[in-house]
Amino acid sequence: MGVGLCVPRAARRAAETQGPGKNTRVLAGCPRLRGWPASCLWAYGGFAEDVKARVENFLGISSLNITGFTSAGTGSFPGSDILALVTQVSLHLHSSVDELLQRDRYVTGWFSPYHRRRKLIHPVMIQHIQPQALSLLARWSALAGELEAALQRVFYPDAVDEWLEENVHPSLRRLRQLLQDLGEAAGAQAPQASPGPDPGREP
């Protein structure tokens, strides 16, 4: 599914000054909603450097030559706020969750899939894992809420749902599942209270 935002009218006019037959096309804010940001800038075809400079000026960005999400700044064109949020998600959400679940020594060493299935964990390890997971979940949940609100101002609800479900929610679910498993393992490790004296038994 593809959803696009219009390039600012002035920028579009700048790109069109080369006239027909110049193979010039500029698109802004154009997520395919599958692996690409909900607001991005594409520039392709052949155009002169002066036109390129004018378009960059209209969009408020330093360069049209964007590789991945390494362009400095997100510009001032419509949808640039979405671009900033989506860039954070695309660059950092999945990798930060992987960093915790797959490379953190406390998680991999003391709460691996083996331990999680059997609800085994040392109580001290909970203090190393749980705060990190809670902080990460709070951070990304807040950003996801902000991104959802921004996307809803531009795209149809089903497009927003699809993009979030494919790019945001899976990572959040992984964090929630880790916290749920931690809680269950902690409960399983809690010492059972010793029963009181049986009132019907002879002392």
Give the gyration radius of the chain's Cα atoms: 25
Where is pLDDT greater, at 40 or 49?
49
Where is pLDDT greater, at 147 or 190?
147
Strand, coil or helix: what is 94?
Answer: helix
Cα 14–32–86 angle (5° rounding)? Answer: 85
Kind and range of the H or E element at 184? helix 169-189
Q: Tokens in use for 154?
A: 């531009």
What are 6-33's pLDDT values in tens digits?
333 433 444 444 444 333 333 334 443 3
What are 117-155's pLDDT values in tens digits?
999 999 999 999 999 999 999 999 999 999 999 999 999
Where is pLDDT greater, at 8 or 53?
53
Question: Does pLDDT of 43 surpass 60?
Answer: no
pLDDT band for position 79 (50/70/90)? confident
Nearest to 58, CA basis, from 127, 121, 7, 133: 7
What are the domain boundaries of the chain? 77-189
Cα–Cα distance, 156 to 133 (Å, whole number): 32
Question: Does pLDDT of 195 surpass 60?
Answer: no
